Chains A and B, each alone.
Chain A
Amino acid sequence: MKELRYTPLNLGRWLLWGGYALILLAAPLVFSKGGGLTLLSQMGTVMIFGLSYNMLLGQGGMLSFGHAVYSGLGAFFAIHAMNMAGAGQLPIPTSLIPLVGGVAGLGFGLLFGYVTTRKAGTTFAMITLGLVELVFASSLMFPGFFGGEGGVTTNRVIGGAVLGITYGPQIQVYYLIAFWLFVCTAAVYAYTQTPLGRIINAVRDNPERVEFIGYDTQWVRYLVVILSSFFAGIAGGLSAINFEIVSAENVSAIRSGSILLFTFIGGIGFFFGPLLGAVVGILFSVLLSDYTPAWQLYLGLFFVLLVRYAPGGMGSLIMLLLRAARFGHLGRVGKPLGWVCLAVLPGLFGFVAGVEMLYHLTLEAANGSVKQLFGMAVDTRSALPWTLAGGLLLASIVAWRKAQPVFADAWGASCAEIAVQTRSAR
């Protein structure tokens, strides 16, 4: 009986991890155009950073505003190691540079974590915020190590080619990142299945009770911060290789805040949440920022909408839809959902058009009032485009009011039915 139950489970696990490896391998073949490779490389490093961050936030309930301290300092140590290796003072290949970052991150985790984890909750959050400001300030005070305003640069091509790999071409860097990403994902996942990984969940849910089952919660948090900073340091080391430059921005509160944002968008309640969040976050901050100066507004709005309507992040949306599909409700939920999306679409166009025209008027008015929008030349000073944008928005609101209640009913009914079915299965 037991064998029968466990075999398909293991098969599923192999499929999942195999599929993950395949995606990592095949991604650069699919997204080979333009900056695709650069994007993928950045996503990879941010994914590791996000996984590390979620060890604190999602799994441990520790809201940190200063996680970039560990990735950033890891990146600085990595880039100095690369420069020393390049000068022949340190015999270390580029492939292992992320490990230098990881060890540096771990070291600072040992040091700073001891201070930050004395308290939990708001106090922890405030101390991490103070810490990141402290490190950021000292990055400008010690230009010898941090490189001052310009940062520290390097050349990732160290010595001759090993098996034809020099890390000159971006594709080789991508595969290095993909390799470390896979290893880190597996390691972080394995950690979640250990006594410490489970007890930190208990500390998140109810720190007081943990003290009464024999655990020192402070020590649990401290250990988790140390482990988490190791992975953050690896992410930092990889970003040092990827960009060949590390500056004060790497240890800033802004960097720390963005990983909080990305991880939350992906969904802190799910192991894969940070992976999703990194993809979306990089699409917004790297890809979208090429097209529009308003990308931060869009990212902020997206974040607010998500927090308001799907606090579990995109991960929860996917899991809810998958659950509906498993119970065979996708048809009856999917159709009204499609209508809702269709209803929102014109409004989205109208809204984006309005925002873009506004940005153009305020920021680029010196270049004339004509702006390229959705492939059309639009005069932002004439009434027509504004009326059109407003009309689209209005139409959307009307359509939303019709479509949304239908979807809400269908969704509510589906959820209620699933709840009944799972309860009777109990």
Chain B
Amino acid sequence: MKALELVDVRKSFGKSEIIRGANLGIEQGERCAVIGPNGAGKSTLFNLISGRFPLSSGEIRLNGQRISGLKPYQINRLGLSRSFQISNLFVNLSVYENLRCAVLWSLGYKYSFWHRLARLRDAHERAEQVLEEIGLQRQRHVAAGVLTYAEQRALEIGITIAGGADVILLDEPTAGMSRSESDAAVELIRKVTVGKTLVMVEHDMSVVFGLADKIAVLVYGEVIACDTPDRIRGNAAVQAAYLGGHEEAA
């Protein structure tokens, strides 16, 4: 059974079809990078998988269960969590509160107004653990809105993984980072996604080849290839469509 499976997924905005019959299968525990030129529909694909947009046709399955047509929170409860290209945090809440909010549902507290937050040991411990993993212990009381860019990106990943989902979608986690920041981000991603299925959109080829077990190439709304990094490098169609311009850089 595949962790995530896309079957002939299509999405149109008005008359223009952005995703044109995308097929993709990702095994459990695999790290898959989705690459493709600008406008290929990578972010749209993520929005479809995570339930942000409804599909025009096709089907998406998570661990064999159909998730297309479900609301984002329903998909999240089934074990899929995503991050955003532009940091999407709770800006007035502290770093610690951001993380604690992100773990509450998965620990079963739901909409409770009869538990006292301060007494919830498990939520506290889980939030602390993520805080340590993303290295923001010193900023725990700082409002998320005033963190530096790299810190916000780290918190973005922290919120995404805090709920313990086993399929993680990261949308350009290293975009806009310096070399050293992006190296640190790669280490962070590697660490927090151990044993999980990871799908990420990424432009930085060194990140892609450093992290991914598999690379899916999306061109004009279609997955033209999905294979190991070595084979993708040698794939003529991919080179023609996309990689050519980046060969020297990588």
- Residues of A bordering B, CB below 8 Å: 190-191, 193-199, 201-202, 204-206, 208-216, 219-220, 223, 227, 426
A204 partner residues in chain B, CB cutoff 8 A: 92
State whether A195 touches B113 (Cβ < 8 A): yes
Say yes or no for B184: interface residue by CB 8 A criterion.
Answer: no
Can you list 20 pairs linking A and B with CB atoms under 8 Å apart?
A193-B116, A193-B117, A194-B115, A195-B109, A195-B117, A196-B111, A198-B100, A199-B101, A199-B104, A201-B97, A202-B93, A205-B91, A205-B92, A206-B89, A210-B101, A211-B71, A213-B76, A213-B105, A214-B76, A215-B73
Say yes or no for B235: interface residue by CB 8 A criterion.
Answer: no
Say yes or no for B102: interface residue by CB 8 A criterion.
Answer: yes
B102 partner residues in chain A, CB cutoff 8 A: 213
Contact partner of A214 (CB less than 8 A), chosen from B77, B88, B116, is B77
Contact partner of B105 (CB less than 8 A), chosen from A208, A215, A426, is A215
State whether B111 touches A199 (Cβ < 8 A): yes
Known: A199-B111, A202-B93, A214-B163. A426 touches B116 (CB 8 A): no
A-contact 0/1 string along B16-54, CB 8 Å cutoff? 000000000000000000000000000000000010000
State whether A216 touches B73 (Cβ < 8 A): yes
Say yes or no for B68: interface residue by CB 8 A criterion.
Answer: no
A215 partner residues in chain B, CB cutoff 8 A: 73, 105, 111
Contact partner of A202 (CB less than 8 A), chosen from B72, B90, B109, B118, is B90
Using a Cβ cutoff of 8 Å, how many contacts connect chains A and B?
Answer: 101
B81 partner residues in chain A, CB cutoff 8 A: 212-213
Q: Give the one of B81, B102, B118 with max A CB within 10 A.
A: B102
Q: Give the one of A193, A195, A206, A220 with max B CB within 10 A.
A: A195
Contact partner of A216 (CB less than 8 A), chosen from B71, B91, B98, B139, is B71
Q: Beyond the given A193-B116, A212-B72, A426-B139, could you list 13 further A-B residue pairs with CB under 8 A, ordered by the A residue number?
A: A195-B117, A199-B101, A201-B92, A201-B97, A205-B89, A206-B88, A209-B84, A209-B88, A210-B101, A213-B101, A214-B163, A219-B111, A223-B113
Say yes or no for B15: interface residue by CB 8 A criterion.
Answer: no
User: In the bound complex, what is the Cα–Cα distance between A199 and B159 (angstroms)?
Assistant: 14
Say yes or no for B232: interface residue by CB 8 A criterion.
Answer: no
Say yes or no for B13: interface residue by CB 8 A criterion.
Answer: no
State whether A212 touches B50 (Cβ < 8 A): yes
User: In the bound complex, what is the Cα–Cα distance between A206 and B144 (angstroms)?
Assistant: 12
